Structure 1
Amino acid sequence: MKRFKNILVGVDLADKEQIVANEMSSATSTAIENGLWLAKHNNAQLVFFTALEIPHYLRFVAEERGDVESSLSGEYEERLNTLVQRAKREGIKASYVLTVGKSWVELIRQVVKHERDIVIVGTRQRGITANALFGSTGMKLLRKCPCAVWVSKPRAEQEATSILVADDLSPVSGLALELGISMAELRGTQLHVLHVLELGMGRPSWDSFEIRTRARAEAAKQLEAQLARVNTSGLRCPARIEIVVDAADSAIIREIAENHVGLLVMATVARGGIDGIITGNTAERLLPQIPCSVLAVKPHDFKCPIAVD
């Protein structure tokens, strides 16, 4: 997997109560480890990125005392430099960027301005949605960032035994399949490939056994053609392909639970030329529910809604 040459890792150095946390969260630590791992296997450039967001309650202090921002920046730079030095000791070309602003906005600006190939971030767990991929930064990146986005959920990756590719047979899903195969090869895990024949939305009702059988056969043929175009010799065991008739979001969530999936690889599709919108209702329902890490691949014509100065 040599596709990623310019990797950006979002480093969250704050927590709910402190602007500079005593320790990095497990989600951020996992994102950093994933960035180091991916950079090694791709011989890629690695950039650690942090955006300093000064809370509202400190802004009046910052306006009166000019040393607040510089003091916080100094602490952030020290930690970022520690990460850079570690990466360099591991033979990785690394650097860091520190800026001021909203994390997700500044991450996307970095992607657009410097042509980053992939953004890797962790996800914060919040309240009753602690089992879901529901961090604000992660969700906004998945929706609006023009490059691939890998949102890491630590516990899910540690307990995982397999990787799932949700394949809708679109052109960009071929890239998602290729990346899923590469990830499964490098991690030595089982690869599952899921295609969903969705109900409703102008499609046949699938009530007829004959219609379902014909649709399954056609989908299987296309999936086999996709797999034939990719080298799968490095997989520990053959990919398991499943074609189901269901709503896409329900089928994907069920597949994740039944097969102990730690990473979902999925393609996102720009909707009707609207900047920063992916896949429509299915994705908008699915993303907040995903209980594992996700690697989202964007099409080349994805329109980013963030302007770069």
Structure 2
Amino acid sequence: MMKYQKILAVIDPEDDQQKSLLRAIEIAHITQAKITAFLPIYDLSYEMTTMLSTDERENMRFAVIEDKSAWLADLVAPIEKASGLKIDLNVEWHNRAWESIICRVIKHDYDLIVKGTQLNDTLKAVIFTPTDWHIMRKSPVPVLLVKDHDWPTQGKVLAAVSVGVEDDDHTALNDCVTRTAKAFAKLLSSEVHLVNAYPGTPVNIAIEIPEFDPQVYSDSVKDHHKHAMSRHAQKHDIPERCSHIEQGLPEDVIPALADKIDAELVILGTVGRQGISGVLIGNTAEHVIDKLNCDVLAIKPDGYESPVSCA
């Protein structure tokens, strides 16, 4: 069972469907979580009012917040009634939306952020905004980025793991990713698949060492990852047919498999503490996520602390 008890659903004024809020409600119906519909706002024209008095500037800011609060209440009321859930509302003035979201999480102990992504109809792909990237990089709690679609039953959840290096940190993160995948699969009545990308033969070794046999090396690496994946899958009761070992870069392997099995959700670790070289860090994670045309849940290793300072 998922442990999410406080969900921050980020509201997008341009989203008619409010997919983040609807997805949060789906989760809350299972976990009995409390939901806050959160709208960070900032009016750039405020920067042009420096000639006004402090009171006039404050009145302007208050008027904008009051107007957006009324809009949010009208938006949420029918959704609240249809879902049967009480949804808290919060509108916050901040010139950096991502920072206001993370600070809200830190100050009020939320354990999941749900945010909608933008679908580019021309490219048939999900477009992630700079706000999305900041949140994924710096959030201390899992971030669920959703697109505009229903979560069908009997779908597939893909957990990206790194089973090639067997140390405590890797094992702990792999276990966390897989347990989370199983919890979401239970919510969706779905099937969990595991994927692990392993490196190909280093070209420089094959060139510099004449007696080096690249095929023997490649087979050895594949066997190592295959056996490690088998142990991990057995540990979590994942059938062998749902365990995938593919040679290549994570940013190629993970999206390709997600597309092949038509995954509705991909779960991966996005930031590692020092020494966790196999975790998807920085640009690698972003390259993976940028190629996925499905919901993405980005989680952090235990003990991760956000670099955002919330005074």
The TM-score, its normalising length taken from structure 2, stands at: 0.79
2:231 maps to which residue? 225
Q: CA deviation at 1:258?
A: 1.6
Query: Displacement, 1:47?
Result: 1.3
SS of the residue corresponding to residue 290 of structure 2 reads helix
3-state secondary structure, aligned to 1:4 = coil
The alpha-carbon deviation at position 282 of structure 1 amounts to: 1.8
- Between the aligned partners of 1:305 and 1:253, the Cα distance in structure 2 is 29
Q: Which moved more, 1:201-210 or 1:134-143?
A: 201-210
Equivalent residues of 1:30, 1:152 under 8 A apart: yes
Instruction: Kindly state the Cα deviation for residue 144 of structure 1 after the two structures are TM-superposed.
Output: 1.4
1:84-95 → structure 2 map (5 Å cutoff): 86-87=79-80, 90-95=83-88
Q: Give the drift of 1:51.
A: 0.8
Residue identity opposite 1:198 in structure 2? P
Q: Which structure 1 residue ranges, 5 or more long, are not aligned?
A: 16-23
Residue 157 of structure 1: how far off its partner (Å): 5.5
CA 1:200–1:268 in structure 2 vs 1: closer, same or farther (change >3 Å)? farther
Seq. identity, %: 18
Contact 1:156–1:293, Cα closer than 8 Å, also in 2:
no
Match of 2:108 in 1: 114
CA gap of 1:242–1:153, structure 2 versus 1, over 3 A, is: same
1:120–1:150 CA contact under 8 A, matched in 2: yes
Give matches, 1:257-276, under 5 Å. Answer: 257-270=259-272, 272=274
Q: Summarize deviations over 1:81-139 as a string: whole Å, max 9, x none.
A: 35267447745453122111121110000111122111000113469766134222212
State the secondary structure of the residue aligned to 2:244: strand
Alpha-carbon RMSD across the aligned residues, in angstroms, is 3.4
Find the counterpart in structure 2 of residue 252 from structure 1: 254
CA, structure 1 residues 287+90, in 2 after alignment: closer, same or farther (shift >3 Å)?
A: closer
Equivalent position amino acid for 1:216 in 2? K
Query: Given the superposition, is the C-alpha separation of residues 203 and 282 from structure 1 closer, same or farther in structure 2, using an over 3 Å criterion?
Result: farther
- The C-alpha deviation readout for 1:123-180, integer Å capped at 9, x for no partner, is 1346976613422221211111111000111148579942211111322122111111
Map 1:143-222 to 2 at 5 A. 143-155=137-149, 161-169=155-163, 170=170, 171-199=172-200, 208-222=214-228
Given that residues 2 and 184 in structure 2 are in contact (C-alpha distance below 8 angstroms), is that contact kept between their aligned partners in structure 1? no
Measure, in 2, the Cα distance between the counterparts of 1:173 and 1:91. 36
65-74 or 3-12: bigger deviation: 65-74
Of 38, 57, 74, the residue aligned with 1:49 is 38
| Equivalent in the alignment of 1:25 | 16
292 and 193 in structure 1: CA distance in 2 versus 1, 3 angstrom threshold: same
CA contact (8 A) 2:156 2:191 kept: yes
Q: Are residues 1:2 and 2:8 paired?
A: no
* Structure with the greater alpha carbon radius of gyration: 2
Kindly indicate whether the alpha-carbon contact (under 8 Å) linking 2:154 and 2:188 is maintained by their aligned counterparts in 1.
no
Mapped contact 1:165–1:176 kept (Cα < 8 A): yes
Aligned residues: 290
The residue that corresponds to 1:283 in the other structure is 285
Q: Which TM-score applies when normalising by structure 1?
A: 0.79
What is the SS of the residue equivalent to 2:2?
Answer: coil
1:93 and 1:174 map into 2 onto residues whose CA distance is: 33
1:225 corresponds to which letter in structure 2?
Answer: R
Q: Could you tell me which amino acid in structure 2 is paired with residue 294 of structure 1?
A: V
Against the structure 1 CA distance between its residues 79 and 272, is the aligned structure 2 distance closer, same or farther, given a 3 Å change threshold?
same
Q: How far apart in 2 are the matches of 1:201 and 1:116?
A: 44
SS in 2 for 1:154: coil
Mapped partners of 2:154, 2:205: distance in 1: 36
Deviations 1:6-52 (A, max 9, x none): 11111112x4xxxxxxxx334xx211111011112111121111111
In structure 2, the partner of 1:60 is: 48
Q: Cα distance, 1:212 vs. partner?
A: 3.5
Secondary structure of 1:47's counterpart equals strand
Q: Does 1:81 align with 2:73?
A: yes
